[in-house]
Structure 1
Amino acid sequence: MPDQPLAPPARILPTIVFSQFAGTSLWFAGNAVLPELQASLQLQEGALALMTSAVQLGFIAGTLVFAFLSLSDRFSPRLLFMLCALLGAIANALVPFVAASLVPVLILRAITGFLLAGIYPVGMKIAASWYSARLGKAIGYLVGALVLGTAFPHLIRGLGATLPWQQVLLAISMLAAIGGVLLYLLVPDGPFLSKGATFKMGNMLQAFRDKAFRAAAFGYFGHMWELYTLWAFTPLILVTIAPQLSGGQVSVYTFLVIAAGAVGCIGGGYLSQVWGSARVAFVQLLLSGICCLLSVFMFQVEAPLVLVVFLLFWGVVVAGDSPQFSALTAKTAPAHLVGTALTIVVAIGFAITVVSIQLTGFLLTLLPIHAVFALLAIGPALGLGALRRLLIS
């Protein structure tokens, strides 16, 4: 009888989860200190959309370049993760030194986004090299870590409201660097580490010929239209509707709203073992779409507690379907094109976030806030229409 792979050491998943959390804390680091950057650069309200979109565009470019060069297949993924975490930490720490001009700040944020392509997707590959049968649950924890990492800069800003913003960025950089080093030292290459196909643009059309893959991909695209736009504009929503909140309170509540998505990710991972990924993703996407529509009324309620409770629920369901879409796209992609197919889907998904963020920022200059976010329901509506095919197949 052939030898069976041993169960992963107990430290593996917690280390990967912590490192993913630490590395992805770089994502919204610029957003967390945006008021200070706006004052330094004399920026107008459009700065929020610019700062977020710079990271998103960098991430899109990074995913395509990393896949085209097959970096995580040609080199140790744990080494790649550590190098990207260290370089991303340096790029983030350099922002205070160029904060007198907008262009260098945006360039550094784009570089940070580029390097995040060596953290978030590569962390998934590392997890897959250790977990085979339980990968769905592991992905739930990993995406939950991404959500917490994205939210964490707002918590640092909120709890350390008296700290200079430069120290906030430095603390985030130190966290990311520690996460990268710990993963390299404590997580060796797993027993299921495999080589993927070389990236070829022509493979994209082949992957999208499959109806099930198209359904999963377009469901994910609808989800992405809503997700990062809500995350990016949560501080603005709180400031506009509840101006009595202090800056520290706004940061802490923003952290809680974004971090609530981790509950949806992990809880959805467990539910998917009973309901299946398609049903869990459908229900969460439906609920988040309903929240988009309800925002027309909820964003006119002058009660901070009611607003925060509503945003917390929205935060749970808006992100909770992310792991299930990852599982669905991986499951329905052609077996020999999983890496290429997932890369294209992620790149398109993040390109959609840039359009959504920029459009929302523009509409906020023309319309009252309660009239804008209902338009995010377009994404869930289209995503549900696509995803329905997987439920009835």
Structure 2
Amino acid sequence: MAPWFSAAAVLPQLRAEWHLSPQAGSWLALAVQLGFVAGAVGSALLNLADRVPSRVLILVGAVAAGAANAALLGAHTGAAAFALRALVGVALALVYPPALRAMSAYFTRGRGLALGIMVGALTLGSASPHLVNGLGGAQWRTVIAVTSALAVLGGLVAALVGPGPHRTPAPPVRPAQAWRALAARGPALATLGYLGHMWELYAMWTWFALYYGGVLRAAGSADVTRGAALATFAVVGVGALGCVVGGMLGDRWGRTRVTELAMWLSGGSALLLAALAGAAPGVVLSIGVFWGFWIIADSAQFSTIVSEVADPAYVGTAMTAQLALGFTLTAVSIALVPVLEPALGWRGIFVIWAVGPLLGALAMRTLRATPDAARIAGGRG
């Protein structure tokens, strides 16, 4: 997954070299997510995660992502870079959903923790560009080359992993199953919860550095760029631990309960920051780290729930479709911030972000009261 955030790590350098406007830079950041949505929709319609061995899909996707990422070294315009970044997203749609599917085929007990560890790895990948920037940055060509090589290496490692003991036989191609898999009451409620979670997650990850830079600037900080980058690394990176804790609680306490709790705490953190406009940087960072822990702690549990309540023959398709819907929504919430923030300020943005998890928490509470709850986390709901 290294190429996903490779351009984000060196975006200031790319803007300077290719003479990109701030708007063009934002589109470059969105390109991977838009490409991922396109790839996930295509994969779900073809039921690829259920019909093709996971290690084959991951190998093909990882090598393709590495190649598209490496092609940035020969790009000279923002348009070419956008197309290549979108291709990275399309390729990674063959990596992330099949990896979740493969993990679910290895675990019945402890599945929430297993998927939580995997999503925790994604969280560390999200945080790493901010660490690079906080430590002084790196020459962008080196970053692109290294992340491309890591993608290929990851694909080769995945190729060594055989099918799990709970893998089901390949089903026939049924494009309609992509959406039918999520239409039943249980998967539909889990997906509504997931959408509430995703409304807030990637927007916060994308824009926290800009917000916290403003907090530091208002406090008279001498090194705003470095301080904001290191703070954002802490806020996003702590979510890896949140994913592990969320997985443990999901297995032992129940997935609907831990997802509801995480979204109440996450949405509440956004509202608290909205109420504390003008607070000292230390106060804001403390709340931000708490927010970063809980904003992602529930993420893997939504996929785990789908793996438990969806048609076993099309679990991979259901996971892929859920991810496609979620990442579509993130593109909207990310793009709205530059449009709304000048009029509403960060206080208004945080209130808007909080709406998603608060509605998502209600969806998970509703799911806990349905018969499908008996099939989740060994009957714990």
Q: Are 2:254 and 1:276 aligned?
A: yes
Q: 1:310 to 1:122 in 2, by over 3 A?
A: same
1:230 deviation in Å?
0.7
1:198 deviation in Å?
4.2
Q: Are 2:42 and 1:65 aligned?
A: yes
Contact 2:48 2:317 in 1 (8 A): no
For 2:197, the equivalent position in structure 1 comes to 223
1:65 deviation in Å?
1.9
- SS for the counterpart of 1:197 is coil
Task: Choose which of 76, 80, 102 in structure 2 pairs with 1:126.
Answer: 102
For 2:332, the equivalent position in structure 1 comes to 355
Matches of 1:129 and 1:339 in 2, distance apart?
10
Q: TM-score, normalised by structure 2?
A: 0.88
For each residue in 1:28-55, what CA deviation from the matched residue of structure 2 results, as whole angstroms up to 9, or x when unmatched? 2222212112222333333453123211
Q: Specify every segment of 5 or more residues in structure 2 that has no aligned partner in the other structure, as ranges.
A: 371-381
1:164 deviation in Å?
1.4
Matches of 2:164 and 2:133 in 1, distance apart?
36
For 2:361, the equivalent position in structure 1 comes to 384
How well do the aligned residues superpose, as a CA RMSD in angstroms? 2.2
For 1:289, the equivalent position in structure 2 comes to 267
For 2:167, the equivalent position in structure 1 comes to 193
**Which protein has the bigger helix share?**
2
For each residue in 1:167-211, what CA deviation from the matched residue of structure 2 results, as whole angstroms up to 9, or x when unmatched? 1222222222222222324x2333333334345343356445422
Matches of 1:390 and 1:94 in 2, distance apart?
45
Task: Choose which of 276, 289, 313 in structure 2 pairs with 1:312.
Answer: 289
User: Residue type matched to 2:12 in 1?
Assistant: P
Matches of 2:294 and 2:66 in 1, distance apart?
30
Contact 2:44 2:178 in 1 (8 A): no
Matches of 1:276 and 1:317 in 2, distance apart?
16
Task: Choose which of 130, 143, 157 in structure 2 pairs with 1:154.
Answer: 130
For each residue in 1:209-228, what CA deviation from the matched residue of structure 2 results, as whole angstroms up to 9, or x when unmatched? 42222211101111111111
1:285 deviation in Å?
0.6
For 1:213, the equivalent position in structure 2 comes to 187
- SS for the counterpart of 2:159 is helix
Contact 2:259 2:361 in 1 (8 A): no
Contact 1:157 1:168 in 2 (8 A): no
Q: Specify every segment of 5 or more residues in structure 1 that has no aligned partner in the other structure, as ranges.
A: 1-23
- Sequence identity, in percent? 36
- SS for the counterpart of 1:151 is helix
Which range is displaced more, 264-273 or 338-347? 338-347
Matches of 1:286 and 1:162 in 2, distance apart?
36
Matches of 2:53 and 2:206 in 1, distance apart?
33
Q: Which stretches of structure 1, 4 residues or longer, exceed 4 Å deviation after superposition?
A: none
For 1:173, the equivalent position in structure 2 comes to 148
Matches of 2:284 and 2:148 in 1, distance apart?
32
For 2:230, the equivalent position in structure 1 comes to 252
Matches of 1:209 and 1:304 in 2, distance apart?
45
1:58 deviation in Å?
0.6
- SS for the counterpart of 1:105 is helix
Which range is displaced more, 65-74 or 343-352? 65-74
